[in-house]
Amino acid sequence: MTTVPSSIEQPARPLTRNDYKTLSLSALGGALEFYDFIIFVFFATVVGKLFFPPDMPEWLRLMQTFGIFAAGYLARPLGGIVMAHFGDLLGRKKMFTLSIFMMAVPTLIMGLLPTYAQIGLWAPMLLLLMRVIQGAAIGGEVPGAWVFVSEHVPARNTGYACGTLTAGLTAGILLGSLVATLINSVYSSEEVADYAWRIPFLLGGVFGLFSVYLRRWLHETPVFAEMQQRKALAEELPLRAVLRDHRGAVILSMLLTWLLSAGIVVVILMTPALLQSLYHISPTDALKANSLAIVLLSLGCIGAGWLCDRIGAGRVLVIGSLLLLATSWTFYHSLESHPEWLFMLYAATGLCVGTIGAVPFVMVKAFPAVVRFTGLSFSYNVAYAIFGGLTPMVVTALLKFSPLAPGYYVAGLCGLGLVVGGYLLSRKR
């Protein structure tokens, strides 16, 4: 494999207007693509009733519906690895644009699909196929977006770029929550089941295709363009080189992905339901507090990335993990006796979850440019498929022993964050 000269890395310079345009378009596209991926979960109950036999037991219908949702996660590693392979050989921009196209079209089709009453078993099968394509797309989008923005900006602004992109992805979750709340507020439950459930998917598809158009204005990253010019691209299968020469970087990236998945899955995605079932907080208050937490999470991601550029990822992870440990522990332990603290504590916890903004900074620095996309994508997607998929089951199982299970799980991952942060400090990174 040809060694990539260090001079290919971006020269020191201030951020330009083009840099901000690249960051803005990338973050917007990431937000809309993540919206397309996540909107399914907000309408899972309605979709389950429409796409499966009406005489099916409710628990089985829900299990199969969420199984289709989970299929998107299981498709992420394969889609991410394949797209990253071509991203390292053919160009970042091509895969960056392809990923959002592959997300937009299935989302649009899902909004147009006939139901079980109209085509029988073909309905859930087509729904599953669309979900698998969505999963493959998101598997390429997230790592590809981190690599794309990090290779466009000066090296001293890598953290800020990755943090801003991550904030865009989390904003997609917020957008999905707000659209779902709006649909359920404007339409009656009968209207939602009849036709209104299709609106969020159709909107997502249209917005996604608009993002494909917007990404036409983006340019190939200077790092990849220079590798092409110098003929310094990978001379063998990129994944083979990653697994042979960069195992330490893979392990480090997978551990950080575990930390990231715990913050998103437990604190952001699972907690609204837990607030209602464990602490008897109204659905309206739970969703409002969750929206506030996501806003603070997005700001926290940008702040963590900005700090990585100034004090290093090791210090950010150590300080952020300690703060997340303190806020999440207080949050889950205090709500039963002080439900009036909900908004304040959830907002503070969401802000500290923003520590995950440091994760992509470490991962893009861990791999050389020649196999960066493949190394990051393999590590992130395989780890997210494992830990993102197992986390809900582990936390749910632990709830049988203690209602504070989410707090214990997050605390354990904060410990992991401290260990990784300490390791990075010892390596002065």
pLDDT tens-digit series, residues 189-204: 889 889 999 999 999 9
Q: For 358-417, how does the pLDDT look when each residue is reduced to its tens digit (9 = 90+)?
A: 999 999 999 998 889 889 989 998 998 888 777 887 888 888 888 888 999 999 999 999
Q: For 157-175, how does the pLDDT look when each residue is reduced to its tens digit (9 = 90+)?
A: 999 999 999 999 889 988 9
Task: Evaluate whether 325 touches 228 at the Cβ level (below 8 Å).
Answer: no
Q: For 25-42, how does the pLDDT look when each residue is reduced to its tens digit (9 = 90+)?
A: 888 888 887 888 788 877
Q: Given the structure tokens 């100034």, which residue do they identify?
A: 310
Q: For 314-335, how does the pLDDT look when each residue is reduced to its tens digit (9 = 90+)?
A: 999 999 999 999 999 999 999 8
Q: Which of 129, 305, 107 is nearest to 210 (CA)?
A: 107
pLDDT band at 3 (very low <50, low <70, confident <90, very high): very low
**Is CATH 3.40.50.300 correct for 237-429?**
no
Task: Evaluate whether 250 touches 375 at the Cβ level (below 8 Å).
Answer: yes
- How many CB atoms within 10 Å of residue 390? 13
Q: For 110-128, how does the pLDDT look when each residue is reduced to its tens digit (9 = 90+)?
A: 999 999 889 988 988 898 8
**Is CATH 3.30.590.20 correct for 16-214?**
no
pLDDT of residue 4: 40
Every domain of the chain with CATH number 1.20.1250.20 lies at 16-214, 237-429
By percentage, how much of the chain surpasses pLDDT 70? Answer: 93
Give the burial string for 252-285 (b: 16+ CB within 10 Å, else e): bbbbbbbbbbbbbbbbbbbbbebbeebeebeeee
By percentage, how much of the chain surpasses pLDDT 90? Answer: 35
Task: Evaluate whether 222 touches 152 at the Cβ level (below 8 Å).
Answer: yes
The residue type found at 314 is G
* Residue 412, C-beta contacts closer than 8 angstroms, at least 6 positions apart: none
pLDDT band at 62 (very low <50, low <70, confident <90, very high): low
CA atoms within 13 A of residue 368's CA, in its CB half-sphere: 20
Averaged pLDDT of the chain:
85
pLDDT of residue 344: 96
